[in-house]
Structure 1
Amino acid sequence: MFGLVKTVFCPQAAIVFDVFHIVAQYNKVIDGVRRAEARAAMETDKNVIKGSRWLLLKNPENLKEKEIPRLEKLLSINKNLSTVYILKDELKTIWQCNDRQQMSKALDM
């Protein structure tokens, strides 16, 4: 659909990626990892992982005080969830770069 719009109505348009849509796609990755980890977890960890979707998808500044300890526990017991959670914030920092050189350096970290 979008490819058709570009070629028919805006043949000179460049494809532009914005942080909102990139992070929205990455949130699907986080949710997939969360589901896989919940299936593979032992019974005690399943209770922590169960119902954690929105904790992982929320921006840290939007967490309620009572959610913070639960998120910290979740991230401390599961390395894969911790990794994808950290990478989400790293992904956002790319959009704060002012030029290609900064962005390239941020991607290499």
Structure 2
Amino acid sequence: ELVDNLEFNTKANKSVLIDTGGKRNENVSFKHNNIAKYKILPSIKKKGITTINYLVITHPHADHMGELIYFLNNINVNNLVLNIESFPLELLKEVTTKCKEKKINILDV
């Protein structure tokens, strides 16, 4: 397992998570590998954070976004920040569908 992410709060008290982690040797897919469930989310929730204001996905590789759908299903996210052009179409469809379902804004950068 590889935890490739960074979480911090801004001076304006906004919670930011950069990448969700995942296994490096996987195809780019949203298989849940327990990294979010057992490592990242407990750490975030222990700090009293119940909403991620900005979830930034740097690029669509499994070790950076493999846990994305799990995050979207298990913690409130206000804004998902990503580069739409860098995503394969099938992955983008899955992400946009989940964001619509959860009423999460997608910010294309």
What is the TM-score of this pair, normalised by structure 1? 0.28
Return the structure number with greater helix share.
1
Return the structure number with greater strand share.
2
